[in-house]
Chain A
Amino acid sequence: MASVVSNLRTPEYRSAYQALKITGFWVFLATDMLLFGCLFATYLVLRTHTDGGPTPIQIFDIPGFTLETFFLLTSSFTGGIATWAMRSGRQKQTVSWMLVTMMFGLAFILLEATEFAHDVTVGATIGRSAFLSAFFTLVGTHGSHVSIGLVWMFLTMLQVLKHGITPQTARKVFVVNLYWHFLDVVWVFIFTVVYLSGVVLS
């Protein structure tokens, strides 16, 4: 169904068939929100269960997680610019801003990987205590989501390169950025509930 819904709407909504997929993705985000909600609840219950092992303040590195936050939030901003470029019909700009977004996202992941690797070397492993299990699972699940998003964004970028801005690629650009913004929101909660509370409330 390539029926035109309205020329007044932005490109990703102009085909009813594509608009349907965007709706479906919003509903999927609701389930992902629940997933993270449960992980947050588990973290909140278990964060004091340190079993005489490493505590939050001992392993959270303030410059580290601040820089991670900067990278991720910036990448969400550049993703927004990519969406704007898509809506303006600018293929090249869409591709380059998506590339920039991916670079910042990759920087976030690399920083997080080194954070985890360092934790392991000081004995803060997932099997040491319930607190650490909860921490690595919550933050790690977010990190896996981001990693999957990077691959997804790369594939989307390839398709924009190949086909230009069509109803289908417009929707794909929009949806992958929606996903990216969602992960950004989750990170804001992680930053607050995990890292900030961890170093301030100890």
Chain B
Amino acid sequence: MSHAALSSRILLTVQGGLSSVLKPAGPVAGQELKIIAGSLILTMIVVVPVIVLFGFILWRYRDKQDNPARYDPEWSESKVLEIAWWGIPIVIIGILGAYTAKVTYALTRPPVTDVKPMTIDVTSLDWKWLFEYPDQGVATVNELVIPVGVPVAFDLTADGPMNSFWIPSLGGQEYAMPGMVMRLWLEASRPGVYYGHAANFTGQQFAGMQFKVVATSRAAFSEWVRQLKQVDHPLTVTLYSQLRQPSEIGVQLYSSYPRDLFAEVVWREGGQYMVDSMPSLGSTHVSVSPVMVNAMNQ
């Protein structure tokens, strides 16, 4: 089956892809929506009374003749009120702060632990996204295909200006920077076509850095990989150097790619200065070097 036919079978609803933060399609986006909702409710505890009080006060204490309301021009202190409006926000922030800490740490770990995760190496280029699948040995540009229900570790870097990798329906974003690898965990919990876009300005054709995310069943995903491997279109070093040229090129598919390409790109741009001897708890930084990759490949 041709690739085009395969992907048109998976194509759903809107061509551009679903993109709402309010309609999560995965556990990471789900957790993030929960804290968004929670923070909204907690802040409304303060904001709503302020606005109601504001409206009431404007109406009642207008300077018009025979206003029966009390006029107390010197009344300007109240211990009780001060305790209330320092105290209640402190409690609210305390609650929100604790909840934020919990979720922030949780998001640095895979969303589920009972399914074997996979890795995708992401490189931001001018003005396209390169996706390398180390576990599968294939690569694509501007089109991401992932299996549903599998946590994916996106390892992000840039071979160009600082960028940000964002698939709103699946979860929040993380920066892709030259000389560094940052890890972002995402997972799709139902099949669909989702909108992905660069989220940190990288120059003139930044607006064109859209990519399509296709989440499909594990079986369909394996089938897609198998078919892609049979196409004779390897990503060579020469082709990669063409990718580095500023351009918009649409979707590209590669049956294979040089295994240490990603690590070498990172190392060349300063990865050597970023090797963690002791990564901190809750770190999202990944140490990468060609030496390590070569060792892995042996």
Contact = CB atoms under 8 A, between A and B. Distances in A.
Partners in one complex: yes
Interface of A: 48-49
Contacts of B273: 48-49
A78 to B, nearest CB: 43
Contacts of B270: 49
Nearest to B273: A49
Interface string B269-281: 0100100000000
Nearest to A52: B272
3 contacts: A48-B273, A49-B270, A49-B273
Nearest to A46: B273
Which 3 residue pairs are nearest across A and B when measured between Cβ atoms?
Answer: A49-B273, A48-B273, A49-B270
Contacts of A48: 273
A34 B249 CA distance: 47
A53 to B, nearest CB: 13
A48 B270 CA distance: 11
A48 to B, nearest CB: 6
Nearest to B179: A49
Interface of B: 270, 273
B274 to A, nearest CB: 10
B202 to A, nearest CB: 22
B275 to A, nearest CB: 11
B138 to A, nearest CB: 34
Contacts of A49: 270, 273
SS of A interface (majority): loop
A134 to B, nearest CB: 13
A49 B273 CA distance: 7
A48 B272 CA distance: 10
B87 to A, nearest CB: 35
A49 B270 CA distance: 8
A79 to B, nearest CB: 41
B44 to A, nearest CB: 39
A44 to B, nearest CB: 13
B280 to A, nearest CB: 17
B270 to A, nearest CB: 7
A6 to B, nearest CB: 39
A48 B273 CA distance: 7
B29 to A, nearest CB: 34
A173 B48 CA distance: 60
A49 B271 CA distance: 11
A21 B270 CA distance: 48
A51 to B, nearest CB: 9
A47 to B, nearest CB: 11
B179 to A, nearest CB: 10
Nearest to B270: A49
A49 B272 CA distance: 9
Nearest to A50: B273
B278 to A, nearest CB: 16
A48 B277 CA distance: 14
Nearest to A49: B273
B291 to A, nearest CB: 16
A48 B274 CA distance: 11
B277 to A, nearest CB: 12
B212 to A, nearest CB: 38
A148 B103 CA distance: 53
A48 B275 CA distance: 12
Nearest to A45: B273
A98 to B, nearest CB: 46
A71 to B, nearest CB: 35
A201 to B, nearest CB: 15
Nearest to A48: B273
A130 to B, nearest CB: 9
A119 B270 CA distance: 24
A109 to B, nearest CB: 33
A45 to B, nearest CB: 9
B289 to A, nearest CB: 15
A49 to B, nearest CB: 5
